[in-house]
């Protein structure tokens, strides 16, 4: 049975900057004849008394941590964080968002570890394509091998230009079919956790021969997600874990290679001849032309600009102007979304979206199927399943079988 790491409970309280008295009040612990509320909290934090599931959920909300953080072997720390390929300004501009990203990575690492155990129990062999390109630096070669292995067809990806969601769904299925788990996550999974904005991270990869994981920021646009997803796939092929941010201004040759691989999979260099006269038009016209070109191919505008710079169709000054504009648009979009959330909260508006449906979509079919198989064969307990899926242990079965509630499973 998976047990709570009581050291992490004290760490979470300290991280939330709450005294024992304040925490006990916020957790609704009461004083009785035998012990005070603070003494009850001390017993839980010292490991003398295990917390109930209800208490853990309250702690998650009060401390603004995911429940899974309480089960980790060690406290999330900078030492556990992946190689970070984001630029320094991107790492530092949002300290709170970066702190939440640290915890998210620790949470996903815990899920991946459990996933690997379950797959090994089923007899899963190492995946041949993980780290298969570690000795190569030719983006064309790596992109071709990824396409062949996944059965990816560019024409199929571009079939519905007005529906980038379908294009992303097709790409995601190709990747999941070769044993890579793709998760879409943008928060820590409980009501009071704040969204981790796209300006903090776009994606990260956990390279592993049995259970490779890719996490994409769910708040990003679908077209941008597609590029990031392929960028992270290149990381898996190269056997290199890491956090990715903007596709430009990086000193990492590895990161540049992954971006070139993703670019070659979604766009052929000869197609850029359509934009050969771009230098001679004003910025607003450039933006409009790039938008039309990108929309038709189900790719993002920054990705097109990146390719134009790679092929020397635009100079560094034009590239910088375009990037500044796209960065400005992204920050403006995030600010508007934040203001809308705050306004909706103030007005008491409820979102008519089924959060479990969103979470199931975010986790992906392969992970859900693995959880169902493992539960059915008693390899996985509801407690462990709650760590794998990020849901309450009591609600694991209804989460996995939404159409069978109230029936025997």
pLDDT digits (tens, 9 = 90+) for 180-236: 999 999 987 754 456 888 888 999 999 999 999 999 999 898 999 999 999 999 999
Burial 12-30 (b: 16+ CB within 10 A, else e): bbebeebebeebbebbebe
pLDDT at residue number 409: 38
Q: How many helices (H) and strands (E) does the chain have?
A: 18, 4
How far apart CA 76 and CA 64 sit, in angstroms, is 14
pLDDT at residue number 406: 44
Query: Strand 213-216 and strand 203-206: pairing?
Result: antiparallel
| Helix 382-389 / helix 365-376 crossing angle, nearest 10 deg | 180
How far apart CA 106 and CA 114 sit, in angstroms, is 13
pLDDT at residue number 26: 92
pLDDT at residue number 283: 86
CA atoms within 13 A on the CB side of 202: 24
Token reading at 10: 């004290």
pLDDT at residue number 58: 87
Residues of the chain with pLDDT below 70 are 1-2, 73-81, 87-92, 190-194, 246-250, 350-352, 405-409
pLDDT at residue number 81: 59
pTM: 0.81
Q: Radius of gyration over alpha carbons of the chain, in Å?
A: 23
Place of tokens 């450039």: 286
Q: What are phi and psi of 75, to 5 degrees?
A: -75, 140
Is the Cβ–Cβ distance between 203 and 216 less than 8 Å? yes
pLDDT at residue number 408: 39
pLDDT at residue number 79: 40
What's the maximum distance between 2 C-alpha atoms anywhere in the chain?
Answer: 82
Q: Which residues touch 224 (CB under 8 Å, ≥6 apart)?
A: 198, 202, 300, 302, 303
């Amino acid at each position: 049975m998976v047990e709570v790491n009581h050291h992490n409970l004290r760490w979470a309280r300290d991280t939330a900057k709450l005294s024992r008295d304040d925490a006990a009040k916020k957790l609704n612990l009461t004083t009785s004849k035998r012990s005070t509320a603070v003494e009850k909290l001390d017993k839980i934090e010292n490991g003398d008394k295990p917390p109930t599931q209800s208490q853990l959920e309250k702690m998650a909300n009060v401390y603004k941590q995911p429940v899974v953080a309480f089960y980790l072997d060690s406290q999330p720390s900078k030492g556990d964080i992946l190689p970070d390929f984001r630029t320094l300004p991107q790492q530092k501009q949002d300290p709170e968002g970066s702190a939440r990203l640290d915890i998210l990575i620790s949470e996903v690492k815990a899920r991946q570890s459990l996933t690997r155990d379950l797959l090994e129990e089923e007899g899963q062999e190492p995946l041949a394509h993980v780290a298969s390109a570690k000795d190569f630096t030719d983006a064309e070669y790596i992109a071709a091998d990824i396409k062949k292995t996944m059965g990816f067809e560019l024409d199929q990806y571009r079939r519905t230009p007005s529906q980038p969601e379908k294009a992303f769904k097709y790409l995601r299925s190709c990747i999941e079919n070769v044993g890579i788990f793709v998760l879409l996550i943008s928060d820590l999974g409980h009501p009071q956790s704040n969204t981790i904005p796209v300006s903090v991270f776009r994606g990260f990869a956990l390279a592993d021969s049995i259970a490779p994981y890719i996490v994409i920021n769910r708040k990003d646009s679908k077209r941008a997600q597609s590029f990031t997803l392929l960028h992270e796939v290149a990381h898996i092929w190269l056997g290199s874990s890491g956090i990715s941010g903007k596709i430009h201004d990086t000193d990492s040759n590895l990161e540049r290679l992954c971006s070139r691989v993703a670019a070659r999979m979604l766009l052929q260099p000869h197609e850029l001849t359509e934009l050969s006269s771009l230098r001679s038009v004003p910025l607003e016209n450039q933006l409009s032309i790039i938008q039309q070109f990108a929309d038709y191919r189900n790719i993002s505008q920054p990705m097109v600009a990146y390719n134009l710079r790679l092929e020397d169709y635009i100079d560094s000054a034009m590239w910088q102007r375009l990037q500044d504009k796209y960065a400005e648009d992204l920050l403006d979009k995030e600010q508007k979304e934040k203001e809308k959330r705050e306004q909706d909260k103030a007005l008491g508006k409820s979102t008519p979206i089924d959060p479990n449906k969103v979470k199931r979509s975010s986790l992906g079919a392969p992970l859900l199927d693995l959880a169902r198989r493992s539960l059915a064969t008693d390899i996985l307990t509801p407690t462990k399943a709650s760590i794998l899926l990020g849901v309450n242990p009591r609600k694991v079965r209804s989460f996995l079988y939404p159409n069978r509630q109230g029936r025997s499973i």
